[in-house]
């Protein structure tokens, strides 16, 4: 538990991961493990690269001849003001002592995985373990995207990064596409010659008014989250930026929604005498985990052995698992028992850290037996 506190109190907002990466490397090397750091810091803008280490399986059943399974957690956090101070309250729940995040996202999982490695070093399991610690996750899964997945020996992996009750296994996640429109109008003095102007903000507002936003169905959402334009209250605005997104587990549906948002922008610009430049970008690809997934079988088996009732759920967010699955790995996102992430109310019960560790150990044991 002291390791968890040390990790949380070592600041690592995205772009400033160096200190926690060094702390983590020292922890792993003190166990006698070799740690590889890749070059992801450059392309991602992170303060360090992704870290990869391995714990071989038992000689004879492990080592070079054994399979491996991968566990992953990210070491960066969202930005925060002030030093994080960890408090363990009277109910056995870790919280921030001040008005900052706790950092349990995702350092609760990081601490658990280091302890998993420590136990595996003392008593080697029947299967090898790979631990991957990614950077720049909070800014769009950038560390995982920059990681050379061919370095992994594992074909099955687990990402411990779902802030919800332990026992939940995420079997559905969305494709996420961002959209940005730059409306170009004509500036004019708003009091003297407004007729000569073409309001880019009015065009943008008209476009947004035509869009269907919010929860569109059980699997699909759409949002406009940013609108910015104009220079002064007495000037008809000549430029306005609108940015948003759509998400759906159904890839055809998210494409359909983005097309409708694009059409709304084009129509509104034309009707308002403006122009619009539109760009879209896919941030990650969605998935549905099938019943034939070995990762799913291992996770649900481990949860059952640990006395938990597995619950298959869908998420509206992305994780490093989205990246690994898109590249062909049988990878599963697991709940880690943390709550209220990205806020000053963030917390994790001490018993959930122990439960996470138990489940990871059971996954390793089942993998070695199958």
For 9-41, how does the pLDDT look when each residue is reduced to its tens digit (9 = 90+)? 999 999 999 999 999 999 999 999 999 999 999
What pLDDT shows up at residue 66? 58
62-82 mean pLDDT: 84
What pLDDT shows up at residue 218? 95
Mean pLDDT for the chain overall: 96
306-320 mean pLDDT: 96
242-250 mean pLDDT: 98
Of the pLDDT bands very low, low, confident and very high (cuts 50, 70, 90), residue 300 is very high
Distant-in-sequence, close-in-space partners of 198: CB < 8 Å, separation ≥ 6: 185, 186, 236, 238, 272, 273, 274
Instruction: Mark out the alpha helices in 195-238 (DSSP H runs).
Output: 200-210
In the chain, CATH 3.30.70.360 sits at 179-284
pLDDT reading at 61 higher than 60: no
The answer to whether 162 and 306 are in contact (CB under 8 A) is: no
pLDDT reading at 267 higher than 90: yes
161-175 mean pLDDT: 97
Helix (H, G, I), strand (E, B) or coil at 266: helix
Catalytic position from the list 38, 76, 187, 358: 76
Of the pLDDT bands very low, low, confident and very high (cuts 50, 70, 90), residue 64 is very low
In the chain, CATH 3.40.630.10 sits at 2-173+286-369
Query: Which of 236, 233, 207 lies closest to 222 in space, CA to CA?
Result: 207
More confident call, 227 vs 2? 227
Tokens representing residue 288 in the block: 């549905």
What are the b/e assignments for 244-265, b being 16+ CB within 10 Å?
Answer: bbbbbbbeebbbebbeebbebb
The rounded percent of the chain whose pLDDT value lies above 90 is 96
What pLDDT shows up at residue 370? 76
76 is catalytic: yes
What pLDDT shows up at residue 369? 86
The residues with which 183 forms a beta bridge, in sequence order, are 240, 276
As a whole number of angstroms, the distance between CA 235 and CA 261 comes to 27
As a whole number of angstroms, the distance between CA 271 and CA 276 comes to 12
Of the pLDDT bands very low, low, confident and very high (cuts 50, 70, 90), residue 58 is confident
Q: Which helix (H) or strand (E) covers residue 160, if one does?
A: strand 156-162
What pLDDT shows up at residue 80? 94
Q: 179-284 — its CATH code?
A: 3.30.70.360
Considering the domain 2-173+286-369, what is its CATH architecture? 3-Layer(aba) Sandwich (3.40)
pLDDT reading at 59 higher than 90: no
As a whole number of angstroms, the distance between CA 323 and CA 142 comes to 9
The answer to whether 302 and 125 are in contact (CB under 8 A) is: no
As a whole number of angstroms, the distance between CA 37 and CA 115 comes to 20
Is the entire prediction scored with pTM above 0.95? no
What pLDDT shows up at residue 60? 58
Residue range 104-161, pLDDT digits in tens: 999 999 999 999 999 999 999 999 999 999 999 999 999 999 999 999 999 999 999 9
Catalytic position from the list 137, 161, 187, 300: 137
218 is catalytic: no
194-204 mean pLDDT: 98
């Amino acid at each position: 538990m002291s390791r968890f506190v040390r990790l949380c109190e070592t600041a690592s907002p995205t772009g400033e991961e160096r200190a926690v990466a060094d702390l983590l490397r020292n922890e792993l090397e003190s166990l006698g493990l070799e740690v590889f750091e890749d070059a992801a810091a450059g392309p991602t803008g992170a303060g360090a690269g992704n870290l990869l280490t391995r714990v071989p399986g038992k000689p004879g059943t492990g080592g070079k001849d054994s399979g491996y399974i991968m566990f992953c957690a990210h070491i960066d956090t969202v930005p925060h003001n002030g030093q994080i101070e960890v408090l363990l309250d009277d109910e056995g729940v870790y919280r921030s002592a001040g008005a900052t995040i706790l950092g349990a996202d995702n350092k609760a999982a990081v601490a658990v995985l280091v302890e998993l490695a420590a136990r595996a070093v003392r008593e080697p399991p029947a299967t090898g373990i790979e631990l991957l610690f990614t950077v720049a996750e909070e800014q769009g899964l950038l560390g995982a995207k920059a990681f050379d997945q061919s370095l992994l020996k594992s074909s099955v992996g687990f990402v411990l990064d779902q802030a919800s009750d332990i026992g939940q296994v995420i079997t559905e996640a969305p494709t996420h596409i961002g959209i940005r429109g730059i409306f170009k109008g004509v500036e004019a003095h708003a009091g003297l010659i407004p007729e000569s102007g073409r309001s880019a903000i009015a065009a943008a507002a008209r476009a947004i008014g035509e869009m269907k936003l919010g929860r569109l169905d059980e699997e699909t959402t759409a949002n406009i989250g940013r609108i910015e334009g104009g220079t002064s209250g007495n000037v008809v605005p000549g430029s306005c930026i609108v940015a948003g997104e759509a998400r759906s587990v159904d890839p055809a549906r998210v494409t359909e929604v983005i097309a409708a948002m694009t059409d709304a922008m084009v129509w509104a610009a034309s009707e308002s005498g403006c122009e619009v430049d539109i760009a879209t970008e896919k941030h990650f690809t969605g998935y549905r985990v099938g019943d034939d997934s070995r990762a799913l079988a291992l996770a649900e088996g481990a949860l059952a052995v640990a006395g938990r009732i597995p619950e298959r759920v869908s998420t509206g967010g992305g994780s490093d698992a989205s990246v690994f699955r898109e590249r062909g790995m049988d990878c599963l996102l697991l709940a880690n028992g943390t709550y209220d992430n990205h806020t000053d109310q963030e917390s994790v019960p001490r018993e959930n850290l122990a439960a996470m560790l138990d489940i990871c150990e059971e996954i390793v044991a089942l993998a070695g037996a199958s």
